[in-house]
């Protein structure tokens, strides 16, 4: 089982094109851990903003009566991918892994696969 720091390091080193990564509590909008980012990507701001995205999608699913779970949410920008993966099981409700990728260097399918594997091993 990986802790937060180990999981974020693994995401940063095993996934090509990572700009920054965070573990976020979407009940509060606070990042529990971050790695990377910088002047062009404030991970605290990204954590809060993506919390709104997750909450909006969960509300929409509830209004539609969808009895399903979000695996991940992809936001595709001109030069970046932003990937949000909700954490499932083991009392980790309310958390998501956030990954910002450089679109020119990233393999989106591989990034999703690796993030799913990291999520499965995360113990918070």
Domain that holds residue 47: 4-121
* Positions of the chain with pLDDT under 50: none
| Confidence at residue 50, expressed as pLDDT on a 0 to 100 scale | 96
Taking the C-alpha atoms of residue 109 and residue 3, their distance in angstroms, rounded to an integer, is 24
Domain total of the chain? 1
CATH classification of the domain holding 52: 3.30.450.30
Query: Considering the entire predicted model, what is its pTM?
Result: 0.91
96, 86 Cβ separation under 8 angstroms: yes
Taking the C-alpha atoms of residue 85 and residue 73, their distance in angstroms, rounded to an integer, is 7
Alpha-carbon 84 to chain mean position: 3
Output the DSSP codes for 59-83: HHHHHHT------EEEEE-SSEEEE
């Amino acid at each position: 089982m990986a802790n937060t720091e180990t999981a974020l390091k693994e995401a940063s080193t095993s996934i090509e094109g990572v700009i920054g990564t965070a573990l976020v509590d979407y009940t509060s909008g606070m990042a529990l851990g971050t790695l990377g980012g910088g002047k062009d990507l404030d991970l605290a701001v990204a954590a809060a903003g993506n919390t709104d995205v997750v909450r909006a999608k969960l509300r929409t699913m509830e209004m539609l009566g969808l009895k399903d779970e979000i695996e991940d949410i992809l936001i595709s920008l001109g030069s970046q991918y932003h990937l949000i993966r909700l954490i499932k099981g083991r009392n980790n409700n309310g958390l998501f892994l956030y990954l910002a990728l450089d679109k020119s260097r990233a393999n989106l399918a591989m990034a999703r696969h690796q993030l799913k594997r990291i999520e499965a091993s995360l113990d918070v």
